[in-house]
Amino acid sequence: MQLKPFVFEKPEDRPFLYTTFASTIDGKIIVKDEGYWPIGSKADYEYFTYLRAHADAIVDAKNTALQFGKYTIKTIHDHTFQTYRRELGKKELPEYIVLTSNSDDALEKALANDLGFVPTILTPKAGQSRVLVDDLIDYLNGKGYKNVFIDGGPTLIAQLIQEKVLDEVHLTIAPKIFGSRSEKTLTMCEGILFPSSDIPKFKLKSVHQEGDEVILRYQAQKD
């Protein structure tokens, strides 16, 4: 796949937030059973890795970190990712941030590694049940970050869309159909049903076909 550096338009008051997903034709991005991952092809993974290499920080919610945190840590240390970073003029590893209402042994075990890499765990302020979007933005601003990759999960994505701070969605449509079963499948955005009068809208910025997959780049429409 021919990959060219992405250009992101950073808002004045915060970093540029973006994400990418591989989705089946019927809109599933995760199945809570073994055997369904990865959804996309090697070409999609290459695109995903290159896109993530642009980031100053990578953000996960707890459930995503429990499932994929060890892969994220491994990926950002591998040769391909490091090569992309050097080509993009980025010398340091991105910060890996995990949002959680409470850290526990399961999360610490999922993030444990022999690379000496220490992820950042953000927990809610006193009296709050979760890390608020505004608090995440304040943290990122305090670090001076420009590009921040939102790795997941679907509930976090929904919250960012609701607060109108998710700037781009890169979506790979894989030629698969999974079907659906209660509590087993997830779509890109979970936990929030937007009112019909205020449905978030995105503008198609680019389309790329790679084999039987299609990669769509959507930009959030501003009010």
Q: How do residues 195-205 score in pLDDT, each as one tens digit? A: 999 999 999 99
Structure tokens at 135: 């608090």
Beta strand residue intervals within 77-167, DSSP E: 95-99, 120-122, 147-152
Structure tokens at 174: 């894989």
Q: What is the mean pLDDT of residues 82-99?
A: 97
Q: What is the dihedral of CA 139, 118, 66, 152, to 10 degrees?
A: 40
Euclidean distance between CA atoms 167 and 221, whole angstroms:
8
Query: What integer pLDDT is reported at residue 165 of this predicted model?
Result: 98
* pLDDT level of residue 64 (50, 70, 90 thresholds): very high
Cα separations in angstroms, 4 against 7, 31, 51, 54, 129: 9, 31, 10, 11, 41
pTM to 2 decimal places: 0.96
Q: What percent of the chain has pLDDT over 70?
A: 100
Query: What integer pLDDT is reported at residue 189 of this predicted model?
Result: 95
Angle, CA 31 vertex, CA 27 and CA 36 arms, to 5°: 95
* pLDDT level of residue 2 (50, 70, 90 thresholds): confident
What CATH superfamily classification does 16-193+200-220 receive?
Answer: Dihydrofolate Reductase, subunit A (3.40.430.10)
Euclidean distance between CA atoms 93 and 57, whole angstroms:
8
Query: What integer pLDDT is reported at residue 1 of this predicted model?
Result: 81
Q: What is the mean pLDDT of residues 42-55?
A: 97
Helix, coil or strand: residue 63: helix
Angle, CA 182 vertex, CA 111 and CA 70 arms, to 5°: 10
Query: What integer pLDDT is reported at residue 222 of this predicted model?
Result: 83
Euclidean distance between CA atoms 145 and 83, whole angstroms:
21
* pLDDT level of residue 131 (50, 70, 90 thresholds): very high
Query: What integer pLDDT is reported at residue 92 of this predicted model?
Result: 94
The tokens 């599933």 sit on which residue? Answer: 28
Instruction: Convert the pLDDT of each residue in 135-157 to its tens digit.
Output: 999 999 999 999 999 998 999 99
Q: What is the mean pLDDT of residues 168-173?
A: 98
Q: What is the mean pLDDT of residues 91-101?
A: 97
